[in-house]
Structure 1
Amino acid sequence: MPAALPWLLALCAGLAQAASLASPLDGEPLWWLQILSLALFAHVLLRAGGARRAALLGWLFATAWLAGTFWWLFISMHTYGGLAASLAVLAVLGLAAFLGSYYAAVSACFWVLAPASKALSAIVFAALWLLAELARGVWWTGFPWGAGGYAHADGPLAVLARVAGVYGMGFAASALAMALARWRAPDMRHARWWGGALVLAVAWAGLDAQRQAAVDVEEGRPLTLALLQGNIPQDEKFQPGSGVPLALHWYAEQLRAADAALVVAPETAIPLLPQQLEPGYLEAVTQRYRHGDQALLLGIPLGDIGRGYTNSVLGFAPGQAQPYQYDKHHLVPFGEFIPPFFRWFTRMMDIPLGDFNRGAVGQPSFAWAGERIAPNICYEDLFGEEIGARFRDEAGAPTVMVNLSNIGWFGDSVAIDQHLAISRLRALEFERPMVRATNTGATAVIDHQGRVTHRLAPYTRGVLRAEVRGRGGAVTPYAWWVSRWGLAPLWALGLGVAGATWLLRRRKV
C-alpha cells in the first residue's frame, strides 16, 4: 500500500461521512453512506500499525468529517460577522481539529485494546466511538452537530431512536461499520455468522414491531397552524434602517391576518426589546390572541441592563393573566455568550448579539387547545437529553414540540437540511411531532414518526399553513430514561466496555 494512501482514504472517508448527514444533491440523509464511510475509516484504522499512527488517522478522518459538516460557520463569521476570510477559515478548521482530538484519542485506544474476535472488536470500537461522540456533545457546552446517528432518520436503524436515542443509533452504526471492515467472504461458511445475523434480524423485527404498536395509537384532534417565515436578510436583520422596519411591518401584517389556531413566528422575529419598540406596537399585534380562539408563539429578546437579557418566546392565548414565557437555555458560544478568555475573538467580529442569561432546563409547556406545546430555540433541539427533562412527568409531558430558529446566519447552505434532520431525530426519539418556524428555513411540520408532512421552500417570504396532531400517552423508553439519568447510561456503556476490555488484556499479559 503506498505510504500516502491511508491518509488519502481517511480524508475521503471523513468528507463522505459529512455528506452522509445531508446529501449535497437533495439535502436528504444517507444512512448507507454513513456506515460505508465509517467502515472505510475502520479498514484504514485496522492497518494503522501503531497507536500513534492510529491517533493521527482518526484525527484526520474526524477533522475532515467535522469541517465538511459545519463549514458554513465560515459564513456567519466572515459574511455576517466581518471576520477576515483567512481567520474565519482557520477558526472553522481549528474547531474541527479540536473536536477531532476526541476521535484521535479513541482511535489510539482502539488500537491498544482491540480484541482478536471480530464481534468483540466491533463492540469495542462502537463503545469507544460512542465516548468520543458523547464528549463532543457535552464538554465545553457541547457541539454534537453532525453526530453519526443523524444520518439514520430514514434507515433501518431508525427503530433504535425511541429506545436508545441518536447516540445509541450511532453506537449501532459504528459496530456495523467495524464488522463490515472486518468481514470476509469465508466468514459466511460458519454457523456462528448466520446465527449472529439471525439474532440481529430478529432483534430488528422486534423493535420495529414495538415501534409500530406504539405509533399506531389514536392521536389528538388536528391543530391548524400558520408558521411565519420572514426571510429577513441576515445582514439587515438588526439594522434600524432596513431589516428592523421590514420585520416589524411584515410580521405585524401576518399576525393580524393569520386565521390558524396556533400562529408561530420564529426566533427574534421581533428583533428589538419590547421597550425599544414604538409604544403600543406589541400590544396591537398581540391583542387578537388575548381573546377569541387563536394563540401565538412569538420569538423576541427580553430583559434590561439590570436583570440581563434572554432569547425568548412569548406565548399569547385567551384567558391568560400574563403571557407565557420560555427562555432559551442552551446558548450559542460567541453569538449568545462569550466563553472565558475569548472576548478578544468576538471583538474582531460585528455580531449584534452578546451575553444572554440562561433559562432553566425543563421549563413548563405552553397549554393551548388541549395540547402541551414545548418550545425550543435555535439549536436547542440538538440536545435531546435537555428536551427529555420535560418528559419526566408523563402526565405533563409535551404533546407537540416547536422549534423557533434563525439559520439565516449560515446562508443558503446545507445547514438548513442538517437542522431539519436534527428535528426529525427528536420527533423519532420522543414520538411527538416537531413544528418548525424559521427565518429562512426549514419551516416545516414533522410528524411523530419523523416524517416531514409540510414544508415551505427555504429563502422565501411566506406562511406555511398546515395541521399537526399532538400525541400524549406513554413516553418512549428513551424519554423515560433520559429524563431521569440524562446521558449517564450511555457513558456507563462506553466506559464499561472499554474498562472491561482493558482488564481482560491485562489478565492475558
Structure 2
Amino acid sequence: MKRSYALAALLGALAVLGFAPFALWPLPILSLTGLIGLWAVHPTPRAAALLGFYFGLGHFLAGVSWVYVSLHTFGMMPAPLAAIATLAFCLILALYPGVVGFLCARWDVKRPAVALVMVPCMWASCEWLRGWFLSGFPWLSMGYSQIDTPLAGFAPIVGVYGISLLMVLLAALLFLVVRGSARQRIAAVAIGIVVYGAGALLMQTKWTTPAGAGLDVALLQGNVPQEMKFVPGRFESTLALYGRLIEQTNARLIVLPETAIPQFPEGIPATFIDRVKAHAQSNQGDVLIGLPTGDRRTQYFNSIVSIGTAPSQVYSKQHLVPFGEYIPPGFGWIEKILAIPLSDFTPGPATQTPLAVAGEQVAINICYEDAFGGEIIRQLPAATLLVNVSNVAWFGDSLAPLQHLQIARMRALEAGRYMLRATNSGVTAIIDERGRLVQALPAFTEGVLVGLVQGFQGATPYARLGDWIVLVALALALIVIAWRPRARNR
C-alpha cells in the first residue's frame, strides 16, 4: 500500500502541471484516471480515503507551496513555523479528495454507474464545498486547467465546478477504456467525443452582447517591492510614482492596484487628490485607486475609491483572506508572529452595486475575490465590465501570479465580460469576454497597460443560475446511492 500512496501523491503533483504556467492540460485528466484506477485496485473505504488524501496532499504541496513565501519571506514568520503552517494548510485541503474516495468506495468504484456518476458528482461537490467552507479556498479547482480546451465552452453554463465534473467524467471514461468490456470501451470513446464536440460548439456561442462604444483603459503596475511598500519613508515616492504613471495616459478609465496608496484618505495630500481628479476630468473619465478606508482605530476596509468625472464611489472587499487581512477568533496570538500591516480589515457588505464610472458599470473584485465565481455574479447582469485589483507581490516569483491570472480568465468566460486586472507586480492584463488573454505586462516591471475594451450586457446561464450543477451532482449521487446497494468492502 505504501507504493500506492506514493503513486497517488505523485499523480496529484503531476496534475499541477496542467495549470498555469505549464498548461499541460491532459495531465489532470490522466492523473484522475490513475486515481480512479487506484481506487478500483484498493476498494475498501479506508484505503480509498487515504489514496484520495495522498493525491490531494501531493496536489496542494506542489501547487500552493507559495503560501510559505508569503508567511516567511514577507510575513516574517520563522522558517520552521512557516513550513509547518504550509504543511498543515495542505493537509486540510487534502481531506477533500479523501472524502471523495471514502464515499465512492462505499458503493464500489469498479461499477460503471459509480465510476461515471458517483465519482464525478462527488468530486465536483467537494470542490464546491472547499470553495466556501471555513471561508473557502477554491484555488486549483481542476476545471481551471481546461481554460484553453474545448471543455471551456461549458464554463458560461456550468462554471468551473461543472468543468471539473466533466474532467472526472472523462477520467472515468478513460478508466473504462482500459478496464471495461468491448461494449463499454466503445461507449466510453463515443461519450468522450460527444463531450469534447459539444464543448467546441459551445465555444462559438455568444451569450452576451456588446453594450455601447469601446472604452480606452489604462492599468497601472507600480512594481513597488513588497518589503518597501509600507515603509513610512517610502510613501512620498509611491505617490510620485503613481502620479507620474497616471499622467502618462489619457485613457478614460485608469485603474491602480490593490492598496496602491498604502494610506488612509485623510493622510493623502489634497494636492495629489486634486491633481488626479483634474487629470481624470480632462479625459471625461475616472481613476480607480486602491487604498484602505475607514478608521484605523475602530474598523477599516480594503477598498477601491473612484475619483474623477463621476461622483466618488467606494467598493470595499467583502471576502477577506484569513490571517492576512483578518485574524479569525481564537488566533489572536498569531499577530505576534506575523508582521503583516493592516491585518485586521472589516469585510465590506456582501452585496455591493457596480461603480458607475467612465460610462460603464464596473464590478470590482479585490485580490483573491475573483476566485469565488458565485460571488462575482452577484453584480451581474448590471455590470458591463469586471475589474480585479491585486497585490500578488506577497507571493514573490512563484506559481501564484500565473495561477491567479488563469482564475481571472475563467471568471471572464463565466460572466461573458471583459476582465481588467491591475496588479502591483503582475500579472496586469486585459482579458476578453471569452476568457482570452488580450494584452499583458511582464511581471515585476513598472508600466502602464493601455488598451481598448468593450462593455457587455446580458447574462450567461451561469450568471443567472450560479452553481446549479452542484445541486444536480448531489441529486445524481443520491440516486446512485439509492439505486445501488453498498459494496461489501470494509
Does the alignment reach a TM-score above 0.5? yes
2:408 to 418, 423, 429: 423
User: Is the 1:29–1:150 Cα contact (8 Å) retained in structure 2?
Assistant: no
Partner secondary structure for residue 469 of structure 1: strand
Partner secondary structure for residue 321 of structure 2: coil
User: Is the 1:43–1:182 Cα contact (8 Å) retained in structure 2?
Assistant: no
Which residue of 1 is the match for residue 336 of structure 2? 347
Change over 3 Å in CA distance of 1:174–1:195 after alignment to 2: closer
1:444 to 416, 422, 429: 429
Matches within 5 A, 1:305-320: 305=296, 308-318=299-309, 320=310
Which residue of 2 is the match for residue 5 of structure 1? 3
1:458 to 410, 418, 443: 443
**1:476 pairs with 2:460:** yes
Which residue of 1 is the match for residue 97 of structure 2? 103
Residue 459 of structure 2 aligns with an amino acid whose one-letter code is V
**1:434 pairs with 2:419:** yes
Change over 3 Å in CA distance of 1:505–1:72 after alignment to 2: same
Higher RCO structure, 1 or 2 (CA under 8 Å, sep 6+): 2
Residue 497 of structure 1 aligns with an amino acid whose one-letter code is L
**1:30 pairs with 2:21:** no
Which residue of 2 is the match for residue 301 of structure 1? 292
Instruction: Report the Cα offset of residue 57 of structure 1.
Output: 1.3
Residue 499 of structure 1 aligns with an amino acid whose one-letter code is L
1:253 to 244, 249, 258: 244
User: Is the 1:18–1:69 Cα contact (8 Å) retained in structure 2?
Assistant: yes
Matches within 5 A, 1:154-233: 154-184=148-178, 187=181, 189-190=182-183, 193-195=185-187, 197-198=189-190, 200-202=192-194, 204-214=196-206, 220-233=212-225
Q: Deviations over 1:352-387 (max 9, x none)?
A: 122112122342112234422111100000000001
User: Is the 1:447–1:453 Cα contact (8 Å) retained in structure 2?
Assistant: yes
Instruction: Report the Cα offset of residue 185 of structure 1.
Output: 7.6
Which residue of 2 is the match for residue 496 of structure 1? 475
The two structures have a TM-score, normalised by structure 1, of 0.90
Instruction: Report the Cα offset of residue 324 of structure 1.
Output: 1.2
Instruction: Report the Cα offset of residue 292 of structure 1.
Output: 4.4
Matches within 5 A, 1:74-153: 74-114=68-108, 116-153=110-147
Residue 440 of structure 1 aligns with an amino acid whose one-letter code is S
1:414 to 381, 392, 399: 399
Change over 3 Å in CA distance of 1:215–1:496 after alignment to 2: closer
> Matches of 1:227 and 1:194 in 2, distance apart?
51
Instruction: Report the Cα offset of residue 183 of structure 1.
Output: 2.1
Residue 224 of structure 1 aligns with an amino acid whose one-letter code is D
Residue 5 of structure 1 aligns with an amino acid whose one-letter code is R
User: Is the 1:226–1:258 Cα contact (8 Å) retained in structure 2?
Assistant: yes
1:365 to 333, 341, 354: 354
Partner secondary structure for residue 484 of structure 2: helix
Instruction: Report the Cα offset of residue 498 of structure 1.
Output: 2.8
> Matches of 1:416 and 1:437 in 2, distance apart?
12
Instruction: Report the Cα offset of residue 156 of structure 1.
Output: 1.8
Q: Deviations over 1:179-225 (max 9, x none)?
A: 212322874x42x6545544554455445434423169556422112
The runs of 5 or more residues in structure 1 that have no matched partner are: none
Percentage of matched positions with identical amino acids: 36
> Matches of 2:486 and 2:225 in 1, distance apart?
63
> Matches of 2:172 and 2:57 in 1, distance apart?
20
Q: CA RMSD in A?
A: 2.2
The count of residues paired between Structure 1 and Structure 2 equals: 488
> Matches of 1:383 and 1:225 in 2, distance apart?
25
Change over 3 Å in CA distance of 1:37–1:480 after alignment to 2: same
> Matches of 2:179 and 2:13 in 1, distance apart?
28
Change over 3 Å in CA distance of 1:97–1:386 after alignment to 2: same
Residue 438 of structure 1 aligns with an amino acid whose one-letter code is T
Which residue of 2 is the match for residue 234 of structure 1? 226
Instruction: Report the Cα offset of residue 116 of structure 1.
Output: 4.7
1:62 to 41, 56, 65: 56
Partner secondary structure for residue 49 of structure 2: helix
Instruction: Report the Cα offset of residue 68 of structure 1.
Output: 1.3
2:321 to 316, 332, 336: 332
Report which stretch shifted further, 354-363 or 380-389. Answer: 354-363
Residue 447 of structure 1 aligns with an amino acid whose one-letter code is D
Residue 295 of structure 2 aligns with an amino acid whose one-letter code is D
